Amino acid sequence: MPVSIRIPTVLRPQTGGAASVSYDGSTIGEVLNALVADHPGLAGQVFSGDGQLHKFVNIYVNDDDVRYTGGLDTPVKDQDEVSILPAVAGGAN
Amino acid sequence: MLLRAVDHPSSSQSRDRFKSHRIADGRYAEGVLTLSTELQLELIAHCIRSLPEEGCGLLIGEYETGLVARVAPAENVAHSAMIYTVDPKAFLAADREASKDGLDVIGVFHSHTHTEAFPSPTDVAQAPDPGWHYVLVSLRDTHPVLRSYRIANGTITEEPVRPG
């Protein structure tokens, strides 16, 4: 079942400029792997070398950060909204 | 006096120092941030209210032109005077709100409480998007100072701030 994924501006060059794309899957891992299969340039932005979520990216299914709902095994269903958001941090130090 | 300090980056004298900034592939607008005086004051007020911690938030507007439509003050979940982390939930909310209006999150602002309004090595290392605008507010001196930068591939380029 299709799940829509909101793409942040920094990653849109990898999706041909698309702000939103849709993929099928029953878990967030399946959906993200389908996304990366179509847009290989996203692989290093979304996943770390060991296949886990990159630490500088936050993935939401609707309002929930998937790090607290089962990680890549988090279930998704039709009409869910996935958001990929870069971590925003810095400081004077 | 506050307004004079806010207007500092777009004074005619400093504007001469700026050159149009365009990334090699031409995807980004020229390096100008359009940020109304009202929005400048709103984000500076948030930074002052956040003292002694660094204040932070997001800029919502037109990615292609650098026009800021509104600011989204956020909690600094690092709760520090030396670093900031925008509450990811605030980013999610800002992104959703922006998309409803065909806008995007186009940058971030944060304060330096005891240093100048210039990106630190931490800011450069953690800059999430080369197309974003990075607004710095220094609260070091009596008057707040607001400046804006592009940060791409580790290179800092200051850009003028136009009130509109």
**Residues of chain A contacting residue B112, judged by C-beta atoms under 8 Å apart:** 92
B84-122 pLDDT, tens digit each: 999 999 999 999 999 999 999 999 999 999 999 999 999
**3 state SS of B62:** strand
What is the amino acid identity at position B153?
Answer: N
Task: State yes or no: pLDDT of A7 exceeds 90.
Answer: yes
pLDDT at B30: 59
Task: State yes or no: pLDDT of A9 exceeds 90.
Answer: yes
Q: ipTM of this predicted complex? A: 0.90
pLDDT at B164: 81
What is the amino acid identity at position B70?
Answer: R
CB contact under 8 A, B92 and A85: yes
Place of tokens 């004074």: B11
Among the ranges given (A78-92, B28-42, B120-134), the one the predictor scored with the smallest mean pLDDT: B28-42
Report the alpha-carbon distance of residue A59 to residue A46 in Å, rounded: 9
Average pLDDT over residues A22-30: 95
Residues 9-48 of A with CB under 8 A from B: 9-10, 13, 19
CB contact under 8 A, A63 and B92: yes
Task: Name the residue facing B84 among A19, A60, A89 (closest C-beta).
Answer: A89
pLDDT bucket at A22, cuts 50 / 70 / 90: very high
Given a contact cutoff of 8 angstroms between Cβ atoms, the answer to whether B36 and B61 are in contact is no
Task: State yes or no: pLDDT of B18 exceeds 60.
Answer: no
Q: Where are the domains of chain B?
A: 2-162
Average pLDDT over residues B138-155: 95
B51-88 pLDDT, tens digit each: 999 999 999 999 989 999 999 999 999 999 999 999 99
Average pLDDT over residues A59-79: 95
Q: How many beta carbons lie within 10 A of that of residue A46, not counting itself?
A: 18
Report the alpha-carbon distance of residue B101 to residue B69 in Å, rounded: 10
Which CATH code fits B2-162? 3.40.140.10
Please, is B100 exposed, middle or buried when counting C-beta atoms within 10 Å of its C-beta (0-12, 13-18, 19+)? exposed
pLDDT at B5: 43
Residues 6+ away with beta carbon under 8 Å from B143: B1, B2, B4, B5
Task: State yes or no: pLDDT of B13 exceeds 80.
Answer: no
Task: State yes or no: pLDDT of A8 exceeds 80.
Answer: yes
pLDDT: which is higher, B116 or B12: B116
Task: State yes or no: pLDDT of B11 exceeds 50.
Answer: no
**To the nearest whole number, what is the mean pLDDT of chain A?**
93
Report the alpha-carbon distance of residue B61 to residue B24 in Å, rounded: 23
pLDDT bucket at A91, cuts 50 / 70 / 90: confident
Q: Sheet containing A2-6: which strands, arranged edge to edge?
A: A20-24, A2-6, A81-86, A57-61, A64-65
Domains of chain A in start order, with CATH, are 2-86 (3.10.20.30)
A4 touches chain B (CB under 8 A): no
Task: State yes or no: pLDDT of A33 exceeds 70.
Answer: yes
Task: Name the residue facing B128 among A86, A91, A92 (closest C-beta).
Answer: A86
Report the alpha-carbon distance of residue A23 to residue B58 in Å, rounded: 29
Structure tokens at B128: 């999430």
The pLDDT > 90 percentage for chain B reads 79
Residues 6+ away with beta carbon under 8 Å from A17: none
Task: State yes or no: pLDDT of B23 exceeds 90.
Answer: no
